[in-house]
């Protein structure tokens, strides 16, 4: 009986001392509603950005919105699967340079500020987008000739 009590006590102490799980980045971004707000705020920012707006002249904005929400959900460990085209296919032929990239990051930060996303979560999301930089900026290196989704 004493052994049994000891086992139960040890199990209870172990359960109580388990660290609380850290929230995922998806949760820190406000889950689906928060990410949707961030993307809608970004679209608003892009609408007033003379440098970036021309790139979206022929874009199906409904699709862009949907795919970006999926992508941000997936990279933040949310319950989503990105179903859009590859970053190389999408951005091929745009002739993007660092000033375009920086302008988009600036608009994304403004979109997150507006959505009251904490600075730590903002930085974590940006750091998860950084690995895509090369594919977005040098798409040709990732594509077979003739596989870009839009002509230059």
Q: How far is CA 34 from CA 84, 91, 119, 122, in A?
A: 20, 26, 14, 12
Among positions 8-27, residues that touch ligand HEM (CB under 6 A) are none
> With contact defined as beta carbons under 8 Å apart, do 56 and 101 qualify?
no
The piece of 16-24, 37-45, 49-57, 110-118 that touches ligand HEM (CB under 6 A) is 49-57
Q: What is the CA radius of gyration of the chain?
A: 21
Q: Which is nearer to ligand HEM, 43 or 114 (CB)?
A: 43
Q: Does residue 30 interact with ligand HEM by CB under 6 A? A: no
Q: Give backbone dihedrals phi and psi of 80, rounded to 5 degrees, phi first.
A: -130, 160
Angle, CA of 140, 144 and 52, to the nearest 5°: 35
Among 32, 84, 93, 106, the residue binding ligand HEM under the rule CB under 6 A is: 84
Q: Does residue 110 interact with ligand HEM by CB under 6 A? A: no
Give contact residues for ligand HEM (rule: CB under 6 A).
52, 55-56, 58-59, 63-64, 67-68, 71, 84-85, 90-91, 96, 100-101, 104, 129, 132-133, 136, 150
């Amino acid at each position: 009986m004493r052994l049994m009590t000891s086992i139960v006590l040890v199990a209870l102490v172990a359960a109580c001392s388990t660290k609380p799980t850290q929230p995922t980045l998806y949760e820190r971004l406000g889950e689906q509603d928060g990410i949707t707000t961030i993307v809608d705020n970004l679209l608003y920012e892009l609408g007033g950005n003379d440098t970036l707006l021309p790139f979206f002249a022929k874009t199906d904005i409904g699709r862009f919105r949907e795919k970006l929400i999926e992508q941000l959900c997936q990279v933040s460990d949310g319950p989503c699967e990105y179903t859009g085209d590859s970053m190389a296919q999408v951005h091929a032929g745009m002739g993007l340079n660092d000033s375009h990239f920086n302008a988009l990051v600036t608009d994304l930060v403004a979109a997150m500020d507006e959505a009251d996303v904490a600075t730590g979560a903002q930085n974590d999301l940006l750091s998860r987008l950084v690995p895509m930089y090369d594919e977005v900026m040098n798409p040709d290196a990732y594509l077979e000739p003739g596989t870009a989704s839009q002509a230059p």
